[in-house]
Structures are given as C-alpha cells and as structure tokens.
Chains A and B, each alone.
Chain A
Amino acid sequence: MATEKKKVSRRKFLVRGGLGTLGVLAVGTYLFRSPIRRKIAGLVNTADTPYMGNTKTPIIWFEITKNNTIVLHSPKVEMGQGTFTGLAQMVAEELEVAMERIQVVHAQSASGNMDGFATGGSTSISALWVPLRELAATMRKMLENEAIKKMDAGDVQPVVSNGSITIGERSMTYAEIAEGVQEWDVPDTPPLKTGKTFRYIGKPIPRVDLKDKVFGAPLFGMDAVLPDMLFGSVVRASTIGATFSGADTSKAEQMPGVVKIVTEPDFVGVVATSQQEAENAKNAITVNWKVDTTVQTADIEAMIAVGKGTPFVIQKEGAVEDLISDAETTIVSEYKSPIGAHAQLEPNGALAHVKADKATIIMSTQVVKITRDEIAERLDLDAENVNIVPTFLGGGFGRRLHTPNGIQAAVLSKAVGKPVKCFFSRKEEFQNDTFRPPTHHVLKAKLNSNGSIEAFEHNVSSGDVAFGSPMVPGIAEPILGADLGAWRGGMIQYGNIPNHQAISWRVKLPFATSWWRSLGLLANTFAIESFMDELSVKANKDPVQFRLDHIQTDERGERLKKVITAAAEKAQWTNETQNGRAMGFAASTDANTPCAQVVEVSIVDGEIKVHKVTCAMDPGLVVNPDQVRAQCEGAIIMGMSASLFERMYVEDGELQPTIYGPYQMALMKHAPKEIDIILLEGADTPGAVGEPPLGPIGAAIANAVYRLTGKRLQEMPLQLG
C-alpha cells in the first residue's frame, strides 16, 4: 500500500549543460501524481506523506561542479534530523560516487525544487526514497550514455566507479563527461539497487554537516549577512488576543542608531544600524494593544475538557458504549498534559532584501513554499520573484511551519530599501510560540473475567494542531473531521480488544497552538499507555505480556509485538522493584513506526531520576543507523523533558514563563546515562524516525513511578507532589 502510493506515474528528465559558474548543471523535471490526491493521502493515519514536488517548471536537483563534486539541491531542510546525510547516502548509492564527493545544499525556491508539503512529520527520507534514487539512477544512466558517445566505445560496457566512468582503457569523470553537453538523451530509469548491493545505505556514515557544526561555520538563518545590512526589530504582543491599534514611536525615533520606524496596519517595527540599537528602540515604543478579554490558566483548563467542544469518532470497532455504561464494572481514568513550548535555540527570524520587483529572503523555514507565497502576497510580488534561501535550522520541532517572521523582515527591508535582518527576542519566542496544545483524556475500559480487555475507549480533548495551520486549508477540515495532529497517537493500537473506540474533542483556544514534534503522540501515548498499565495491574498481569496479549496478528501487529519483545528482553524486564529502582514500560505506534521503551527509574532526593532507557523501534529500512539512534536518543530526552519539567501557563493574559530556566527543561544532569537502542527493520522501505520515539517515554516513566511509590501520576509534567 505504502509503496504503491509513492509510485511515479510519469517522469521526464531534462538536462542542460554549461549553466552557472560552478560548472555543469543538471536540471530535472520529475512529474508526480496529482497534488490533491497526494495531499489527502498524506493526511491519513499512516502520515505517509509522499514528496509533493513541483510538477510544472524544470527544477534543479543536481549540479556537477568542475572538480567533480555532486551538489544535491535538497527540497527538504536540515534541522538536525540528519536528512541531508540520508539523502546524500541515497544519491551516493545510485550515482556511484563516494560520500565525500557529495555536497548537500538547501534548494532555493527560485531553483524550482520546492516541496509543497513541508519538512516535517518524519517524512523526509521516506518521501524521497523512491524519487531521489530514481533521479540519481537516471542521471547516472545519462552520464553512461554520454560517456559511450564521447569515448566512442561501441559495444564495450562502461564501468562506473566513484564519479568516473571507465570504458576499456579510457576513463572520464562525471564533470568531464558533462562538460559542454547541450542535449542529453533521457533514458528510462534503470532498476534501482536493492538491499544486498547497498554500499552506502544502511551504513552509520557520519553526518555530512558534522565538521561545519563542530568548527562553528555560519550555517543558520541568524548567521546570514548581506552588504549594507541593517537590523530590524518588531514589537510583538505579549498578551493573548491582543490586536495592534497603533503606537507611539516618538521616543524611539530619537534613539541612537535608528534608521526608520515602520508602522504597518498590523505591526510596528524599527530598523537601526545595530542589533542592540534596534532592540533598544523597540523597547521605547509604546503600542496600543486592543485586548477584549484577559485570559487566565483557569479559563484554558475549563476549555480543555472531554465533553466540551466538538467530538469526532476517529476509530470505532465493536460496540463500546454498551459495555462501558455500567459504573460498577467500568474502569475510568483521566490524564492531562500542559501547554508546551518549542523552545528551539535559534530564534525565528529572517534576513530580507526587497527590491522594487523582487525579493530575497534568507531564513530558517520548514515550509519554503508557504513562506514564499505569504511573502509574495504581502509584498504584492509574483511568487516567482520571491526567492527563499533556506538555511540550516537552529532547531525546527514544528516551530518553523509558521513563518510570519519572514513577512516582517521583508516589510522592514522594503521600507528602507536595504537588507534587514530581524528576529524574535527570547521573550517573544515564548509568548508568540505556536504551542503544543494542552490536553485532557478520559479513558474507560471493561475487563472480562479472564482479565482481558473487553472494551476500551479513549477520549482526547485538545487544542488544534493541524487545523488553523497554513499547511491544512480550511476546506480540508470538514473532510478530515478531526484534527489529525491532535489525535496522532490517539488511536488504540491493540487490535485484539474486541470493542474499542477513540474520540477526539476539538477545542479552539484563544492562542496559537500547532505542530510540536510528534504532535499529539506524546500526550495521547502518556494517557493510553498509563491506562494500559492500570488495567494490567487490575487484571493482575505482567504489563508487557498484557500488551502482547491484546495485539492482533496482522503485519502491523507483528511489528509492534517484535519491538515490545525486543525492548523487554534487552532490558531484562521485570515487574519487581530492585534496589530502589523500578522499571516502567510503554509502547506506541506512530506513522507506521512501532516503538517500545523500558525505563529504569528511582527517586533521588524527592525527584524522579531516569537511569536507563531501552528503546526498540522498527522504522522499516534504516538508511543511517547512527543518525536513527541519534534521533531516538534526542527524542527520548526531549520527551523526558516535556514529561517531567515543561509547562507553560497563562497569567493575566500573558503566556508564561518567558525564559529558559523558569521554563524548566531537561539538562545534562537529567539525561539518562544509559540509552540502549535496538533497531528492527520490519519493512524494506524507510519509515518515520524523528517523532515516533517521543511517544512512550512519558508513560514509561509514570508507570515506573507507580511501581516505586504506588502512586499513579496522571498529569504532565510528572511531579511526586
């Protein structure tokens, strides 16, 4: 099913030679299926989102430089997840070049190589798995054909090796072959390599951006520089629901270094000659904010409650209601999760240079096309005349799926006719985030006389995740029914429960909530897997075996069983507390990737201490095991951070806190000293990696704490109280 969806219906390859100063430029047009069908397909439960490429204009995929380096213009951005490295491995494989010869850069929007979806949803490698390798293989074949022509080889077969083609006695590099070629023959795509013959795919190759990142290269949006650049700063609302209604800028105008104060219908900003001067002048502006109602945390808590808002049944099997209507026999439990901040280290910002008829915006974004279109609309320019130059992201985590910061920088630049760099302060980051919405969960179940679950219901009340996002148009809401982001991880993965259903309750909150790495997975798994633990205790069964007993025997079920068994065996799972340490177990399935985790926890000085995490995950084919491990390690600790420490709250209409520290996060001392990762490859294509391992950690910790203390922690962040 998944493979079929990605199948390419038609493709065309155009290559022009001699473009650009670097040497030879290969320009490919790769035609995909209807974008509308893909969009819907991408929104299904598997979140198996295909690459949504440009289908009209020629787009640049590869350059071959004169020194025979292959430059891949990636439509996916690198935000730490290691995608550039995985893509480079895929190209190396089919193009037959060593990794050292491959350079990966972000495709600028003007190159045409834009992904209409985004970089997100743990889809980058899986979406490009077929198209990118086909492109590389086709290009290799074109080079072979051209080599045969150039070397006049007749029937002698070319031998391809590390960026060179040898025919008989003669050998030419790709660069030499491509030199001067005006018209290329475009062959049929040759068969792709398979597992047994992989030389690069599946190997723990170091990240391609490793040295740049270790030696401090200027990679990020905030590091961008243009000649004559000025510095901008925009006043952003600190109060929920505040709308801009003018400002007193008289004091700011007199501040040193101020070049211009820019007052727009929806915001006011300042342009100055240095960063600090821009910041100082901004702080001297008094904005008239219009606020209708002052929101408090209690207001939000009252809104997020199962039973309020709009319900939508996202999963239904059997007749659940009848079985859980009897209060005597129904087990009921509630769970909660708080508002979460992205807190990525690089603030949102952009360096914009807007001229009369065109604009260049250098910035960190996960949605190149949306960013471009929004800026073009605001500047009243044709989208083709707005070039987005994506940079490495100083953290993404979903935060950069919303990019009004690009618009603001562009407006300021237009006002002064010079390049302007403008980014958020940290306080603005915390108060103007697109937060992970708070959730409330009500779970109900009935056990039969054998201690098996007869009926299981999960209700989740959540603020919006996908809805309201520029990525999901409003017209899609009625089609989708429920917010696929909010219920991610909210379905019941135990198919052997004869009667089960999941219901998503939509709540529109007064502040922006949206995509946060793994979306609803963290909170939904916390609720469901804590409840499963409760039920196993009630049934007097081992929690690991209890889960295995409720998993169906189809392919999905078998993969889930395997990760559960693998994690339990490797961790030497025990239900007994030993030397003050207890284990906790949880498992989740996210975007077809099952993941199981065993944690070892103790209470040290009244605090929950996680000593060890064993994580077994099956993301299908693994392109780079070292980077998949890195994603697991990071996701586990980030999930721990959210589960144990993080919480935004509302006070007198303001989201608080506004700084690291008060927004408590996991630090070095909190990270487990042992993380044991087991990777299973239960499919021959790559699946989701970056988000699935965030799922189980919160529940696993809470379940371990229950074994230590007898107390069931039902609210994140988990506190012993």
Chain B
Amino acid sequence: MKKFFPPLFLLCALALGIVVVFSNTVSSTYVPKPDANLTVTDNEPFDKMMQVLTHERCVNCHPNDGIPKQGADGHPHHFGIAGGPNNTGFEATNCATCHQSENNPYSGVPGAPEWSLAPASMQWEGLSRTEIATSMMDPERNGGRSPEETMHHLTEHELVLWAWKPGVDADGNPRTPPHVPKEEYIAAVKAWFHQGHIIPSE
C-alpha cells in the first residue's frame, strides 16, 4: 500500500464538493463528501473495482489500437474488424451485422444494447490500474462525464453490466465473468466514489 498525501485528498474533496452540488438534482444516491471512515489504507473498493475494469470483459472493448479484442487472451477481433469512424465498425459491416442487443445463445455471439467499442480517448489496453482510473476520471478522455456520470456508467450501463452475463462462446462454453461478483463490484464502485474516488499511486 502506498502513502496517501492529505493535500491531494483535500483537493479532491473540494473538487467533489462542487460536483455534488451540481449533481444532486440528478441523483440522490451519490453522496459527494468523503466517507468519514475512510482511512489511508482502505483501498479495497479501488482494488475490487479495478479487478473488474482490468478484466478482459472490459479491456477487450477499450483497446489502444481501435481494434476490438476477443477472448481471455485478448486477441484481435477476427476478420480484421475495427471500431471504425464511430466505434461501431465499418460502414456496411459493423457491430450490428453480427452483434444484437442481447447474447445469442445459438451462435455464441455476444450482444448488449449499444454494443460498440469505447472511443479512442478511452484506451485502457496496456494501462496500469491507476492509469485506467486516471483516464476514466478525466473529462477530456471519458467523454466529458462528471464523476457522478462516470459512476452511473460503471454501475448501471447495460453494456458494462453485460460483463456479468457474457453468455456462451462459439463452442457453447460460458465466457468468464469478472471474478468479483456484480453486486460487490457495484458496491465497491459506489464506495470508491463516495470515498472521494482517490486514485492510489502505484
């Protein structure tokens, strides 16, 4: 566990305070102020969250080269498929040519609403946990999301939560979901945000 620097903490808290005021109208679940119980060593929520976000179910669609990845080994999507101009594939052969809004039990083709590649700014592939978290919290790179919006994306977006019902592969074998159960992950993400979404240095 690395050292935690209070000035940074305070700074974060301050920043969050501003966001909270803005966001209160949107959500009542997001509590902006840092958790009083937070200790400098309590990185469990972060660890749990990052266990999920670094899992292939997530990273495969946050590539660093515009090419979606597949499988536990994160190999490039077969047939030269790429995110293309809109992160939804090429003009005529695109994600929706094969991927629908739900998993296909017969073909093993995964699917969820808004099936697409994360935008180029959201490259996670090859990044460390802290780099992913930094990227995720950076409005320049996260699609202009506020921390609250990011939290909602991480805990409510169907495409994200697909990771826990990833269906079967072409051979009919179940895909591996992240090792952290979904509810634990959601709680961890919320806790991390509630605690001030502090990114430990590694």
Contacts and interface: CB of A to CB of B under 8 A. Distances in A.
Direct A–B contact present (CB less than 8 angstroms): yes
Interface of A: 276, 279, 283, 427, 658-662, 664, 667, 669
A658 B171 contact: yes
Contact of A427 (B78, B79, B106, B171): B171
A279 B106 CA distance: 9
A661 B106 contact: no
A245 to B, nearest CB: 23
Contacts of A661: 78-79
17 contacts: A276-B106, A279-B106, A283-B172, A427-B170, A427-B171, A658-B170, A658-B171, A659-B170, A659-B171, A660-B78, A661-B78, A661-B79, A662-B78, A664-B78, A667-B79, A667-B80, A669-B80
Interface string B161-172: 000000000111
A279 B108 CA distance: 14
A664 B172 CA distance: 20
Contacts of B80: 667, 669
Nearest to A426: B170
Interface residues of B, number: 7
A367 to B, nearest CB: 31
Interface string B80-117: 10000000000000000000000000100000000000
Interface in B59-92: 78-80
Given A276-B106, A427-B171, A664-B78, 14 more contacts: A279-B106, A283-B172, A427-B170, A658-B170, A658-B171, A659-B170, A659-B171, A660-B78, A661-B78, A661-B79, A662-B78, A667-B79, A667-B80, A669-B80
Contacts of B171: 427, 658-659
A11 B103 CA distance: 64
A130 to B, nearest CB: 46
Interface string B159-202: 00000000000111000000000000000000000000000000
Nearest to A662: B78
Contacts of A660: 78
A658 B78 CA distance: 14
Contacts of B172: 283
Contacts of A427: 170-171
Contacts of A276: 106
A660 B78 CA distance: 9
Nearest to A670: B80
A527 B78 CA distance: 30
Contacts of A667: 79-80
A669 B90 CA distance: 14
A448 to B, nearest CB: 49
Contacts of B106: 276, 279
A661 B81 CA distance: 11
Contacts of A279: 106
A276 B170 CA distance: 15
A660 B171 CA distance: 12
List of 5 A-B pairs having minimum Cβ-Cβ separation, nearest first: A661-B78, A659-B170, A661-B79, A658-B171, A669-B80
Nearest to B108: A659
Nearest to A669: B80
A283 B106 CA distance: 11
A319 B172 CA distance: 58
Contacts of B79: 661, 667
A667 B80 CA distance: 10
Nearest to A276: B106
Nearest to B169: A659
A658 B172 CA distance: 11
A658 B80 CA distance: 19
A15 B165 CA distance: 69
A667 B93 CA distance: 14
A651 to B, nearest CB: 12
Nearest to A658: B171
A365 B170 CA distance: 28
Nearest to B71: A662
Contacts of A659: 170-171
A664 B79 CA distance: 9
A279 B105 CA distance: 12
Nearest to B81: A661
Contacts of A658: 170-171
A273 to B, nearest CB: 17
B107 to A, nearest CB: 10
B69 to A, nearest CB: 13
B148 to A, nearest CB: 40
A512 to B, nearest CB: 21
A328 to B, nearest CB: 46
B66 to A, nearest CB: 14
A647 to B, nearest CB: 15
Interface string B4-43: 0000000000000000000000000000000000000000
B166 to A, nearest CB: 18
A185 to B, nearest CB: 62
A96 to B, nearest CB: 48
B58 to A, nearest CB: 22
A708 to B, nearest CB: 23
A570 to B, nearest CB: 32
A720 B124 CA distance: 29
Contacts of A669: 80
Nearest to B172: A283
B92 to A, nearest CB: 13
A234 to B, nearest CB: 17
Nearest to A427: B171
Contacts of A283: 172
Contacts of B170: 427, 658-659
A664 B171 CA distance: 17
Most buried by B among A427, A658, A661, A667: A661
A658 B173 CA distance: 13
A506 B172 CA distance: 37
Nearest to A279: B106
A669 B78 CA distance: 13
A669 B93 CA distance: 14
A665 to B, nearest CB: 10
A132 B78 CA distance: 47
A299 B171 CA distance: 24
Nearest to B77: A661
Nearest to A656: B171
A401 B151 CA distance: 60
A659 B107 CA distance: 11
A262 B106 CA distance: 23
A274 to B, nearest CB: 12
A192 B67 CA distance: 62
A52 to B, nearest CB: 42
A238 to B, nearest CB: 9
B65 to A, nearest CB: 11
A661 B171 CA distance: 13
A659 B108 CA distance: 12
Contacts of B78: 660-662, 664
A134 to B, nearest CB: 49
A669 B172 CA distance: 30
A661 B106 CA distance: 17
B127 to A, nearest CB: 23
Nearest to B75: A662
Interface string B133-173: 00000000000000000000000000000000000001110
A283 B172 CA distance: 9
Nearest to B80: A669
A661 B79 CA distance: 6
Nearest to A664: B78
Nearest to B79: A661
Contacts of A662: 78
Nearest to B106: A276
A63 to B, nearest CB: 43
Most buried by A among B80, B171, B172: B171
